[in-house]
A and B are shown apart, each in its own frame.
Chain A
C-alpha cells in the first residue's frame, strides 16, 4: 500500500518548497512475539514468558535511559517512531537505545509501526506532529493488545495526557515511577528513575516527606534560544564552550572568537547552572565589574562564608589537597590561567561575564562518580525509605547533585555513579538519579574504576567479533608472508629491542651494522600491526574507538586484544616476527644519506631493558655483536641529539615517579623518582628519527591526507609565570623562540643547587601547549611545525601496538609505498577529522587517567604514614605557597597561617581538622609579587620562590569522602639526612 507524505520545508535560501515523499506500508511486519501465530519465526525477539510487554514512549526513551538499561526491564516494544524521534533529539541516547535493541538479553523489539499497514496513522489537519506521534505510539500499543489478547500490554509514558488517552482507548498505561514501584522484586529500580519534571510532580502527588519544598528562586531564568541566537548575532552575547576550574565548580572560563581574551565567569550566579563542557551564551559585565582570578589560595573559611550566605547546608570545595604535580602543558594551579596577579592590580583584570543561556548541555550520559554527602548532624544516619540526598562528585569541577534514593543507608560508604537530569531555577544543585554502585570508598579497585570512568576509558572486554579478527595462537610465520616479495627478509640482522622492565608489548627493535663503504646502516623495526589489523574490521573499529592503550600503575587497558599485543605483534626475542622497517644509510658522523621503508621479517636477538642495555654499553669487555652495536648506536644517537639541540629542540623535564608494587596485595611499597639513562635517550632518538622520516615520506605522497603531529608555538603570555619566577631568582629567560628558550634553560644553573635547573625545566613544561594530531589537509605547511622538537614535520609511527595514530600512519605509509591502497576512510575529510579529534581526546584522557592512577597510589602509599620530605617553593601567593616535593612528585598548597601555628604547636602529627582555624588568629603576611616573596609583617619568616623547605605529608579525609594529601610546613631540621636534596 502506498501513502504519500507531503510536507513543506524552507530551503537554505529561504524559499518555501513543497516536498512529496513516498511512504510504503507493508504487510510483512510482525509483532516479534512467539505468541503471535502469524509472526515470522525469524523476527522472534520478545519472550513468551514475560509478565507483560512494555510499549515505550519517546519521553521515557529520552529521559529514562538508565532505568531502561537496568537488567530487570525486559521485553520492550520500541515503536520505530520512538527510535526516529530519539535520533533527531539526542544522538547519544539514540546510540544507547540502539545498543539495547541489539542486545539478546534485554529483548527490545523494534516495531516498524510507521510502515505497518494497520498501525500507520495519518496526521489530522490541525494536529501537531507531536500529538500525531503520540497517537501513533498509542495505536501501536492498541495493535499489540489486539494481536496478543492473552498478554498484558503496558504503555510506559511520563506524559500524563498520553496516559489518559491510552486508558480511554483501553490500553494500560503507567509512568516509569509507577512501574518501578510495581516491580517490588527490584527495589533499586526506583532510584534509577530520572527525576525529570514529570516525575517530580508525581512525587509531590504521591506524598512522602521527601518531596521538594517550595524554594525561592536561586538562579535567573535562561533566555529563550531565539533571543540568545539573536543576541549572539548582534554581538550582545558571546558564545563559547565553558571550561570550569579543576578546583572550583563556581569558576569557569570561556574562550570565544568575538572577544580576544578568555571570559571569566566567577560565582554561582554568573555561571547560572552551566557546567563544564556546556556551550553557553555569555553577556559581558560592565568593565568596572571586571576582576581577575584570586591571588589567594582559597581557604576553608572563605568557602564556608560563601556557602553560608547562600543558606545551604553543605561544605564545599575544601582548600584542595596536594596533587600529583601537573606538568600538563597549559595547566596551572587554581585561577592562575590568565595573566595572574593580585585582585587589586588592574592589569590582572580580565573580561568577566555571566551566563544568559545554555545552547547545548553536555551532561555526561555515562554519569558522574561521587559519594553521598554525610548528614549534617554527626552520628545521624540516613534512615530507611525514600530520602533526598546530595552526592558529592569526585571531580571538583562539578557541583553536588541531588538525588532521591531508597538505599541511602547502604550507599553511604560507597562510590556511586549518578546521572544529571535537570537543573531548575529554584534549586541550588542539579537533580539527578542513581545509576549504579562502584564499590566501597577508598578501595583500590573501586577508586581505579572511578578514575577510568571519569576519564571515559572503556574497560569492557573485547567482543567476540573483535576476538574473531585475531589469528589463532600459537602464531608462526606463514608461507605466504615469507614468500611475499614486498617483504624483505631481515632475519640475519643483529636486531635487538630495548624497553622498560616488564614490557610485554614490544613495539620497536633496532639494529646498526657497518656497510662496505665505511658507512653505517641504521634500522628501526616497528611491529607490523596493520598486517593483522585490517581496515573496517570489528577489531579496527574497536581499536579506533579506544585509540590508545592506557597505562595505570598496576594495570594496562589494551587497545588491541592480548594475543596480538603480547605475542603475535610483539617483537620478542628469538622468534620470527613481521615488522615495518625504516632503514637509513648514514655516514659515521650520523649524516643521513638515504632512507628506505620496507615490510620485513626480523628475528630479535635479544629483548633488553634500559638498565641491561646500559650495562652492556658500559662494560668495555663485552665485544659481542649486540653490545658493539648498542655502543655504536648510542654514539650516533648522541650526535643526532646534539644536532637536534642545535636546531633548538627543548629538553624539558617532568617529575616522573615509579612505584614499587607489592606482588601480593598490589599496594605500593615505595615511591621514587624514575631514573633516566643514556639508553632511554638513545631509543628515544632513534624513534624520533623514524617518526620524522615517516612524516616526510607520507606527506610527500599524500599532501592532503597524512596524519601528522604538531606542537603549536606557545603564546608569549603563557611563558609569563616562568619568566616571573626566573626573574625573581635572578635569571633572565628569553622565550622568543625555542632555540633561545633552550639556551636560557641551559643557562639557568645554580652551582650550589643541582635540582634548580630541573625545577626550572618542569616549570617550562607547564608553559607549553599540548601537542596534537592533525590531518595535513586541514592546515597550512608552517602550522605543521613541532615546537618542542624543533622539527618542521613530525608524526607517530613507532608504537602501533598501543596507539591507533600509528596504525593510521602505517596505513598511509603502506599506501605511499604502493603496498596497499589508501583506506577510503582517509580520503573522507569529515571522517578523518572525527578520527583525529577522537585520537586527541583519548590521548589526553589516557594521560589524565595514568596520572590519576599515580595519584591514587600515592594516596594509598601515604595512608597511615606521615612523612617529612624536602620540598621546593614553586609559587608564592599572598597567604600561602605552592610547594613541590621532588621525591614523590607531589605539588600542593601550604597555608602560611597553618605553618605558623604548627611551628608553635610542634609539628609532625598535626590534627586532620587543622583547617578550621579561627579567622581572627591569622598573622598578617606581606606579598611582594615582583620578588615572588611573601614575608611575615614582623619580618620573622620569608619565603621566596625556589626556596627549599620541609613539609610533612599525610592523608586527610575531607568533605565528600575525598582523600587528599595534606602538606604542612615544618622545620627543616626535622628532615632526615637521607631525604635532604642539594
Chain B
C-alpha cells in the first residue's frame, strides 16, 4: 500500500499536511443543556452535555469543584460492519476517560462546586480520528451549555506512514500500521491538554508528528471559533428579536 503517491497526494487526494473537510452544528438536541455535532470528513460525532447540575451521587460530591464525567460510545451502525460496541467496551472506557480528563482541565470547575457535568458522546459514523472529533464536539456542546471555560480546546491527530508525517488520518490510513499521535491543545494558552499514542516512535519522528498535529489543532480551533461566532450571532439575533417582541 502506498499512502503517499509519487505526486505527494494521499489516498483520498489530500496533501500530507491537510485536514479533512470540517462541518459542525450546535444545539442539535432540544432536551440536552448543550449539544453539537461535529464532522471531520466522514467521521461524525454527536455530543450532548447535561449540567452543571446537582451531583446524583451524594457520596461522590466534590465540595470544592465540579465533577466532569463522560460517556463515549460508538453507534452500532457507525462502522461499515455492524458490530455491537457497548459502553463497557475497554477502548470506549479509555476514550471516555481521556475526553473527560481533557475537558475537565479546560472547565472552570472551581466555580461550580457540588455539581456534576455529564458529557455524552456518540459516534454516528466512524472513519478514523474519532477521539479528536469527540473532543471537538464535546467542546462545542459545553460552550452551547454555557459551561464556563478557560480557553478554546481543539484536538487533532497526526500519524507517520511511508516516511511522511500525515495529518488527520482516515480509517484506511489508520489501518496502515504506523504510529498515530492524538493531541488536544488549549489554543489561546498554548497548553497541551492531551497527548496520546499507542506505538513506539523515535524522538525525531515524534517531534515532527506532534508539530504537525498541533498545527492541525490550530486549524481546527479556527474553525471552531467561526462556528461559535456564527452560533452566538444567531443567538443574539434571536434574543434581540425576542426582546423586541416582549
A residues sitting closer than 8 Å to B (CB atoms) are 2, 4, 11, 15, 17-26, 29, 80, 83-84, 87, 98, 101-102, 110, 112, 114-115, 824
A160 and B170 alpha carbons, distance in the complex (Å): 40
- In the assembled complex, B91 has its CB within 8 A of some CB on chain A: no
Q: Are B12 and A21 neighbours in the complex by a CB distance under 8 Å?
A: yes
The chain B residue with its CB closest to the CB of A2 is B21
Let me know if B5 is at the binding interface, CB within 8 A.
Answer: yes
- Structural contact, A21 and B5, CB atoms closer than 8 A: no
Given A87-B2, A110-B7, A24-B13 contact (CB < 8 Å): yes
B44 → chain A closest CB, angstroms: 12
Min CB distance A642 to B, Å, is 48
State in angstroms the CA–CA spacing of A15 and B5 once bound together.
30
**Contact A110 B80, CB 8 Å, known A20-B42, A22-B42:** no
Shortest CB-to-CB span from A248 to chain B, Å, is 42
Q: Given known contacts A22-B42, A24-B14, is B9 in contact with A112 (CB within 8 Å)?
A: yes
Q: A17-B80, A17-B81, A22-B41 are in contact. Are A110 and B6 (CB under 8 A)?
A: yes
How many angstroms between the C-alpha atoms of A546 and B42 in the bound complex? 45
Give the residues in chain B near A26, CB-CB below 8 Å.
13
Q: Which residues of A contact B127 (CB under 8 A)?
A: 20, 22
Q: Is the C-beta of B63 less than 8 angstroms from some C-beta in chain A?
A: no
**B240 located at the interface, meaning its Cβ lies under 8 Å from any Cβ of chain A in the complex:** no
Residues of B within 8 A of A98 (CB): 6
Q: Do B81 and A25 touch across chains, with their CB atoms under 8 A apart? A: no
- List residues of chain A with CB within 8 A of the CB of B12: 21-24
Residue from B2, B5, B41 with most neighbouring chain A CB atoms (10 Å): B5
Closest CB-CB distance, A100 to chain B, in whole Å?
Answer: 11
Q: Is B170 within 8 A of A22, CB to CB?
A: yes
Contact present for B81 and A83 (CB under 8 Å) = no
C-alpha spacing A83/B9, complex, angstroms: 13
User: Could you tell me the distance in whole angstroms from the C-beta of A133 to the nearest C-beta in chain B?
Assistant: 16
Within 8 Å of chain A (Cβ to Cβ): is B202? yes
Q: Which residues of the partner chain A approach B9 to less than 8 Å between Cβ atoms? A: 80, 112, 115
Q: Please determine whether B80 and A18 come into contact, CB atoms closer than 8 angstroms.
A: yes
A84 to B170, CA, bound (A): 20
Residues on the A chain within 8 Å of B21, using CB: 2, 22, 24
Q: Tell whether, in the assembled complex, residue A112 and residue B7 are in contact, meaning their CB atoms are under 8 Å apart.
A: yes
Q: In the complex, are the beta carbons of A80 and B7 less than 8 A apart?
A: yes
What are 7 residue pairs bridging A and B, where the CB atoms are less than 8 Å apart in the complex?
A20-B127, A21-B170, A22-B127, A24-B13, A83-B5, A102-B6, A115-B13
B42 and A11 within 8 A (CB): no
What is the bound-complex CA distance between A83 and B42, given in angstroms?
27
A20 / chain B contacts, CB cutoff of 8 Å: 42, 80, 127
Nearest-neighbour CB distance to chain A for B146, whole angstroms, equals: 33
Chain B residues near A115 (CB, 8 Å)?
A: 9, 13
- Interface of chain A, helix or strand or loop or mixed? mixed
Name the interface residues of B2-47: CB closer than 8 Å to any CB of A: 2, 5-7, 9, 11-14, 20-21, 41-42
Give the Cβ gap from A144 to chain B, nearest Cβ, in Å. 16
The answer to whether B80 touches A23 (Cβ under 8 A) is: no
Q: Which 8 interchain pairs have the tightest Cβ spacing?
A: A24-B13, A115-B13, A17-B80, A22-B12, A110-B7, A112-B7, A110-B6, A22-B41
Chain A residues with CB under 8 A of B5: 80, 83-84, 110, 112
Instruction: Name which residue of chain A comes closest to B200, CB basis.
Output: A824
- Contact check, B14 vs A15: say whether CB atoms are below 8 A apart: no
Residues of B bordering A, CB below 8 Å: 2, 5-7, 9, 11-14, 20-21, 41-42, 80-81, 127, 170, 172, 202
A449 to B2, CA, bound (A): 35
For A19, list chain B residues within 8 Å (CB).
80
Q: A2-B21, A4-B42, A112-B13 are in contact. List 20 more A-B contacts (CB 8 A).
A: A17-B80, A20-B80, A21-B12, A21-B42, A21-B170, A22-B41, A22-B127, A24-B14, A24-B21, A25-B13, A29-B7, A80-B9, A83-B5, A87-B2, A98-B6, A101-B6, A110-B5, A112-B7, A115-B9, A115-B13
Are A83 and B6 neighbours in the complex by a CB distance under 8 Å? yes
A23 to B7, CA, bound (A): 16
Residues of A within 8 A of B6 (CB): 83, 98, 101-102, 110
Contacts of B42 in A (CB 8 A): 4, 20-22
B6, B20, B41 — most chain A CB neighbours (10 Å) = B6
In angstroms, Cα B202 to Cα A516, docked, is 46
User: Whole-angstrom distance between the alpha carbons of A20 and B202 in the complex?
Assistant: 34
Q: With the chains together, A71 CA to B169 CA distance in Å?
A: 40
Q: Which residue of B lies closest to A536 (CB)?
A: B163
CA distance A186 to B2 in the complex (A): 36
- Tell me the minimal C-beta distance from B128 to chain A in angstroms: 11
Is A824's CB under 8 angstroms from B41's CB? no
Q: Which of B9, B13, B41, B127 has the most CB of A within 10 A?
A: B13
Bound Cα distance A245, B14 (Å):
52
Quote the shortest CB–CB distance from A554 to chain B (angstroms).
Answer: 40
* A826 nearest CB across to chain B (Å): 13
Distance in angstroms between the alpha carbons of A241 and B7 in the assembled complex: 37
- With both chains docked as a complex, state the minimum distance between the C-beta of A40 and any C-beta of chain B, in angstroms: 12
- Docked pose: A705 CA to B81 CA in angstroms: 37
Distance between Cα atoms of A218 and B12 in the complex (Å):
49
List of B residues within 8 angstroms of A18 by Cβ: 80
Q: With A and B bound together, what is the CA distance between A18 and B13 in angstroms? A: 21
> Please, which residue of chain A has its CB at the minimum distance from the CB of B10?
A24
Bound-state Cα–Cα, A118 to B42, Å: 23
Question: B21 — nearest CB in chain A belongs to which residue?
Answer: A2
Closest to B8 in A: A112
From A2, A25, A101, A824, give the contact of B202 (CB < 8 A).
A824
B170 touches A15 (CB 8 A): no
Quote the shortest CB–CB distance from A86 to chain B (angstroms).
Answer: 11
| Least CB separation from B125: chain A residue | A20
Residues of B within 8 Å of A23, CB to CB, are 12-13
Q: A54 vs B11: C-alpha distance in the bound complex, in angstroms?
A: 26
Write out the residue numbers on chain A whose beta carbons fall within 8 Å of the beta carbon of B202: 824
Residues in A neighbouring B7, C-beta threshold 8 A: 29, 80, 110, 112
Query: Which residue on chain B has the smallest CB distance to residue A24?
Result: B13
A87-B2, A110-B7, A824-B202 known; A21 vs B13 contact (CB < 8 Å): no
Q: Report how far A145 CA is from B20 CA in the complex, Å.
A: 32
Residues from chain B with a CB closer than 8 A to the CB of A17 are: 80-81
Q: A2 contacts which chain B residues (CB < 8 A)?
A: 21
Name the residue of chain B whose CB is nearest to the CB of A824.
Answer: B202
Interfacial chain B residues near A84, Cβ < 8 Å: 5
The distance in angstroms between the C-alpha atoms of A959 and B108, with both chains bound, is 92
User: Which residue, of B9, B11, B21, B42, has the highest number of chain A Cβ atoms within 10 A?
Assistant: B9
Q: Can you name the residue of chain A whose Cβ is closest to the Cβ of B41?
A: A22
Chain A CB within 10 A, most for which of B20, B42, B80: B80
CB-defined contacts of A80 to chain B, threshold 8 Å:
5, 7, 9
Shortest distance from the beta carbon of B88 to any chain A beta carbon, whole Å: 24
**Cα separation A23 to B12 with both chains bound (whole Å):** 5
Q: In whole Å, how far is B1's beta carbon from the nearest beta carbon of chain A?
A: 10
In the complex, residue of chain A having the shortest beta-carbon distance to the beta carbon of B81: A17
Complex alpha-carbon distance, A98 and B127, angstroms: 30
Assembled-state Cα–Cα distance A18/B81 (Å) = 8
Q: Say how far A20's CB is from chain B's closest CB, in angstroms.
A: 6
Min distance, Cβ B219 to any Cβ of chain A, angstroms: 15
Please state if A15 and B41 are interface contacts (CB–CB under 8 Å).
no
Give the docked Cα–Cα distance between A110 and B41 (Å). Answer: 27
- Neighbouring B residues of A102 by C-beta, 8 Å: 6
Residue of B nearest to A21 (CB): B12
Q: How far is the CA of A834 from the CA of B221 in the complex (A)?
A: 44
Complex interface: chain B residues within 8 A of A4 (CB): 42
For B172, the closest partner residue in chain A by CB is A21
Instruction: Please name all residues of chain A whose beta carbon is closer than 8 Å to the beta carbon of B80 when the two chains form the complex.
Output: 17-20
For residue A115, give the distance in angstroms from its CB to the closest CB of chain B.
4
Q: Are A11 and B13 in contact (CB under 8 A)?
A: no
Q: Please give the distance in Å from A828's CB to the nearest CB on chain B.
A: 10
B32 CB → nearest A CB, Å: 28
User: How long is the Cα–Cα vector from A468 to B171 in the complex, in angstroms?
Assistant: 39
- On chain B, the residues within 8 Å of A101 by CB distance are 6
What's the nearest-Cβ distance from chain B to residue A425, in Å? 37
Residues of B within 8 A of A114 (CB): 13
The CA of A15 and the CA of B2, in the complex, are separated in Å by 26
